[in-house]
Amino acid sequence: MIRIANGQGFWGDSLEAPIEQLRRGPLDYLTLDYLAEITMSILQKQKLRDPAMGYAHDFVQMIARGLDVIVGNNVKVIANAGGVNPEGCRQAVLNVLRKAGKHGVKVGVVAGDNLMDSLDSLIERGIELRHMETGEELATVRSRVMSANVYLGAEPVARALGMGSHITITGRCTDTGIALAPMVHEFDWKMDDWDRLAAGIIAGHSIECGAQSTGGNSFIHWPDVPDLADVGYPIVEVETDGSFVFTKHEGTGGRVTVAGVKEQLVYEMGNPREYITPDCIADFTTIHLADAGDNRVRFSGIQGRPATPFYKVSISYSNGYKAIGSMLYAWPNAFEKAQAADRILRQRLDRLGLQFDKIHTEYLGAGAAHGLKLAGKPLGDIPEVVLRVGVRSQNKHAVERFTKEIAPLALNGPPTASGLGAGRPKVEEIVAYWPALIPKTAVEATVSVEAS
Amino acid sequence: MALVQLIHIAHARSGDKGDTSNIGLIARESKFYPILVREVTAERVKAHFEELCHGTVERYEIPNLEALNFLLNESLDGGGTMSLRSDPQGKTYSTALLRMEVQVPDDLL
């Protein structure tokens, strides 16, 4: 049996979680997810400014803090913290190791996911990287592409582990692959053992979003979940046959239940019979769940099917600008005043002749989340409403001009208005997402290991 | 028969992929799963979300988890980074679905 933990559900998740995972009980592997769809483009921008950047700095700090347990207790770490510069991330980690006097610790890098430099040659070779939903060719937005990365799977990560890598850093790699890799390595699973691979993928999915599976963001009976302030992050105890128990460290807060685990299983799900990953297709309708005691849920019976011949590619491109402004209106007639302010604002934008692809208005506190049809009109004269208006345009000037029309409403619009936050809204460049497929034969995942 | 809001017989979680929102609807007890299958059709969910979902609704059954999964296409104003919504990923759509009222036999309540 091996114990695989998750210590980071997304970039921006708790900095203490991975440290607590290391400190509060035994682990064989600690896996961490640092990359959201938008993250790669941010890292790409950083790397353009400074070639030594472009990876998740939080990860290097985490290694520095957790080093004694990682090395002392032989806990292997796998993270997609490399972003668009996994080699830079490795050098930073090696520096931390050397400074701490930890010599001979092997740090692996999985690369080959970054297609930024080979996009044109791929397109020339007839790999069109068409948008998976619209079918458009990438050529239509080629000049605006900001990042392009293949989602690699478990295989190259398992290869790094086979080369003795203690801390493994990947670029773009699936969260599920990062969790599956230790199983492939430790149990010597074959890459066509579809049922076991699918079990490992589902184990990975169950832990990949951090505490969302151990009581955090848990809808059912949420007020009764104990001690979320000290919530334990998820751990799977995997057997060689692919069955596993989902749990968390003893003595931590939160709660593991069958119902809570189900909430995580359906999260971001498409067709439950076809959960497509680079490693296999997992069938969520074959999962058998059973209560296995206090804060323990057993998974068994999982089946899978052969992987497809494609990798998914995550491409980001610049697609115009947006800004969002807001204003608070208080009793009496808060909702009516916010609605009047919206009408006035739109008239002014119109007079200025500004063109937007979209102007979107919400009334926070009066049906913004679910809409008025589902939530119903606010009952009575409610205490306050926040008017929130967003605009989107290819024209940066129009968006900038919009940001200067919010604050004046405080004095030249309906009464009892108060600005939220400081200053004018920020103009943001929109980084849009372009999912595509690429034949696996066109991608070469590379693995290297270097000791401190 | 009684008209019951889904929140009393199911729980839910929602997520996103691009401009598509997914809502997993899970029976609170086994006896309620057949009610969900019978009552919460793709057509009803599309009508329920008419203000928010501008595309089609797909439904998948997951009997082993006593859950249904719904995909609401074109429902996030372009998705994650494009969206001007305060809930760009449709994280609150789970409870929006739980507002729906369905017919439940009295002996199950």
Segment A241-257 shows an average pLDDT of 98
Long-range contacts of A156-159 (CB under 8 A, 24+ apart): A156/A110, A156/A112, A156/A445, A156/A446, A156/A447, A157/A78, A157/A110, A157/A181, A158/A182, A158/A184, A158/A185, A159/A110, A159/A447
Closest CB to A263 among B19, B26, B69: B26
Nearest C-alpha in A relative to B16 = A268
Q: With respect to residue A212, please indicate whether it lies within any of the assigned structural domains.
A: yes
Q: Decide if A439 is inside a domain.
A: no
A 247-266: CB under 8 A from B: 259, 262-266
**Exposure of A376 in the CB half-sphere (CA atoms within 13 A):** 5
Q: Kindly state the average pLDDT of the residues A69-82.
A: 97
Residue A219 lies in a domain: yes
Domain-located, residue A385: yes
Residue A54 and residue A199 in one domain: yes
Query: Which of A219, A272, A286 lies nearest to residue B69, judging by beta carbons?
Result: A272
Look at residue A441 and tell me if it is in a domain. Answer: no
For residues A424 and A380, membership in a common domain is answered with yes
Pick left, alpha or beta for residue A210 (phi over 0 → left; psi -120 to 50 → alpha; otherwise beta).
left
Say if residue A77 is in the same domain as residue A226. Answer: yes
Query: Do B78 and B54 touch, CB atoms closer than 8 A?
Result: no
Residue A168 included in any domain:
yes
| pLDDT value of residue A420 | 63
A429 touching chain B per CB within 8 A: no
Which residues are within 8 A (CB) of A327 and not within 5 positions of it... i.e. 6 or more apart? Answer: A338, A341, A386, A387, A406, A409, A410, A413, A417, A418, A419, A420
Cβ distance A220 to B28 less than 8 Å, yes or no, reads yes
Select the residue of B52, B63, B80 nearest A37 (Cβ to Cβ).
B80
Identify whether A330 is part of a domain. yes
Q: Average pLDDT, stretch A58-68? A: 97
Of the residues A308, A339, A365, which one is the last residue of a structural domain? A308
Distance to chain A for B96, nearest Cα, Å = 6
ipTM of the complex: 0.97
Does residue A196 sit in the same domain as residue A252? yes
Residue A86 shares a structural domain with residue A206? yes
Distance from CA of B106 to the nearest CA of A (A): 23
A297 plus A352 within the same structural domain: no
Residues A174, A307: Cα–Cα separation, whole Å: 14
- Residues in chain A within 8 Å Cβ distance of B95: 219, 370
Alpha helices in A330-435, H assignment, sequence order = 334-351, 372-375, 396-403, 409-412
Nearest CA in chain A to B30: A259
pLDDT at A422: 64
Inter-chain CB pairs, A–B, below 8 Å: 122
Q: What is the CATH number of the domain that holds A410?
A: 3.30.70.2750
CA distance A412 to chain B (A): 25
The last residue of one of the domains, among A278, A308, A338, is A308
* % chain A with pLDDT above 70: 99
- Residues A236 and A374 placed together within one structural domain of the fold: no
- Number of Cβ within 10 Å of residue A326's Cβ equals 18
- Digit-by-digit pLDDT tens for chain B (109 residues) are 999 999 999 999 999 998 999 999 999 999 999 999 999 999 999 999 999 999 999 999 999 999 999 999 999 999 888 999 999 999 999 999 999 999 999 999 8
SS3 content of chain A, % helix, strand, coil (to 5): 35, 25, 40
pLDDT digits (tens, 9 = 90+) for A111-124: 999 999 999 999 99
Same domain, A426 and A360: yes
Total number of domains in chain A: 2
B48–chain A nearest CA distance, Å: 8
Instruction: Indicate if A93 and A187 belong to the same structural domain.
Output: yes
Q: Is residue A66 part of a domain?
A: yes
Whether A251 and A203 share a structural domain:
yes
Kindly state whether residues A239 and A359 are assigned to the same domain.
Answer: no
Q: Which domain holds residue A45?
A: 2-113+151-308
